[in-house]
Each structure stands twice: as structure tokens, then as C-alpha cells.
Amino acid sequence: MTRIVGLSYYPVKGCSGTPVSDAVLTPAGLTHDRSFMVIGADGVFRSQRNTPLMALIRPEVSAGGERLILRAPGASALRVDADLAAARRTVELHGLQYRGIDQGDAVAGWLSDVLAAPSRLVLVPPEHDRVTRGQTPGTAGYADGHSVLVTALSSLDLLNERLVERGSEPVPMNRFRPNIVVDGWDEPHLEDRARRINAGDTELGYAKLAIRCVVTTVDQESGTKTGPEPLRTLADYRRAAEGGVAFGVKFAVLLPGKLSVGDEVIVNSWGESEL
């Protein structure tokens, strides 16, 4: 039986994830996923691509989203009361402009010190109206492109077998920062062909393959880049037609609801891989 074995959301885009046993799936993904974002002085988002130390920031958000606590090695914990009334500002995410609510100077100073670069924190405004593209359109907060990223343990097992064969260390799943991890598919990368998925009370629709970037080379425990892996090995067998290498699949939310670790994953519609 195919089941969910991991659920995680990422309150602050680019920072550490929060594993949970139960979650509510909204149209924009797991509750609070990528609802905050770190930006530079120019309003452009920060990510582990150019600021790998972000991996060391451990956010904790309250159930209602009204309070965020940030922790990082060598820094005092900082409590941020979410401010929905503050001024909106323009932010840039992958070349596209959105709006964000600036969360003030105190958290800006904390982030700037921890990351050793001028930084500010913004919150997705309630009026955020973002449409994500792909085979199934949807919406998202500040996620890279779509609201839900699904990966499978069998796919990671294959990658790690190939890494070990070439003398490299295996990598953990957190290199890929998924929202949902699935176990029970014997065939690696079967998720590529899933078009409609039911799990718990929810339904997901396939949007596109997840094209991976240099963030997968960042050790999530040390906040440092480790070299060319796993991208080098993925390039041997996971080159996508659109360019880049693929691992995991991005989905849009068709039916919101509750998800839990242990929920059965039922694929109601299959298609051909776009690899």
C-alpha cells in the first residue's frame, strides 16, 4: 500500500522546514507554507542558492499564523508578531513582482546579522492573488512555482544507489525540501506519471516536474554547499526535455482538506512522464 510517510511545511521560504504528523492542505498548499519570505535591500527574494546559511534558521509558527519564532545557532531566539496592517511593498520572486507586508526593523536586523547580509522579512498579504501555471493551474504563497511538492522514497533510493556507485555519499530527502513524501511505489519516479492523487480528505492535480537547482547541494544541517552532488548524478539519468534535471513533482490543490502521515495515497489518473 502506498502511504504518506512525511509531511513538511516551510514557514519562511528558504529556511528550515517543519515536519508534522497532521496538516491542513489549503488551496495554497500546507497551512503556513512559504507564507513568509526573506528579501534583500532590493526586494529580491533570498534563497539557499546564494545564501546557504538560511538552512540554519529554524522557524516556528503558531497554529493561527499570528506569531513566528526564529532560531539560529549563535543568535537569541526572536519572536515576531505577524503584522497584517504594515505597509505593503513590492517584492520579486524569480523575476515576477508580488506584494509583501514588511515585518519591521527588529526582525530585519536579526536576519541581517544571522545571514551577514542586509535582509528583511515580508508576509504574504491576505489579498495575494497568484495563479500558478502548469498542466493543472493553482495558487501558492511564496513557493517557487506551485503549492505542493511530492517526492517518493523509491526515487531517492535509486539516486543514492547511483551516488554510492560513483563513490559519493548518499543524500537525505531534506535536500529536496518536499511537502509530501510517499512510500510504497516499487518503481522509482512513478510520481512522474501521477495525474490525479487522493490522500486523506484531499485531491491533487499534476502541474509539472520539479526541476532542481543548486539548493540540492546544500547540507541542510550545516548550511554549506557540499559540491556538485546530487545534481551531477541526476544529470546522468534525469534530464528534462525543458532543460535541467528533475526530481519530484509539483501539484496543484484540487480539493483542500486534512492530511496525515500514514494516509493512503490513491492515484486516480495516470499519464506519460514528461522527462
Closest CA to 123 of 15, 18, 39, 19: 39
Which one, of 78, 197, 95, 189, lies nearest residue 136 by Cα?
A: 197
- 3-state SS track over 200-224: CCEEEEEEEEEEECHHHHEECCCCE
Contact, 100 vs 89, CB < 8 A?
yes
For residue 202, pLDDT over 90 is answered with yes
Q: To 5 degrees, how large is the angle CA 73–CA 124–CA 26?
A: 100
**Percentage of the chain modeled with pLDDT above 70:** 100
Query: In whole angstroms, how far apart are CA 55 and each of 49, 73, 91, 262, 271?
Result: 11, 11, 21, 27, 35
Q: What is the DSSP string of 41-103?
A: TTSBBP-TTT-GGGGG-EEEE-TTSSEEEEEETTEEEEEEE--SSSPEEEEEETTEEEEEEE-
For residues 6-14, give the mean pLDDT. 98
Measured in whole angstroms, the distance separating CA 104 from the mean position of its chain's CA atoms is 25
What are the boundaries of each domain within the chain? 3-9+17-25+132-270, 30-123
Answer whether residue 264 shows pLDDT above 90: yes
CA–CA separation, 39 and 47 (whole Å): 9
- The answer on pLDDT for 81 being more than 90 is yes
Bridge partners, residue 139, by sequence = none
Q: Let me know: does 78 contact 110? Beta carbons within 8 Å.
A: yes
In tens, the pLDDT along 38-76 reads: 999 999 999 999 999 999 999 999 999 999 999 999 999
- Among 129-133, 154-158, 183-187, 252-256, the range scoring the smallest mean pLDDT is 129-133
Architecture of domain 3-9+17-25+132-270: Beta Barrel (2.40)
User: End-to-end distance of the chain based on CA atoms, in angstroms?
Assistant: 26
d(CA 25, CA 45) in angstroms, rounded, equals: 24
pLDDT digits (tens, 9 = 90+) for 205-251: 999 999 999 999 999 999 999 999 999 999 999 999 888 999 999 99
Cβ-proximal residues to 216 (8 Å cutoff; 6+ apart), any chain:
171, 175, 176, 230, 231, 247
The three-class DSSP label of residue 128 is coil
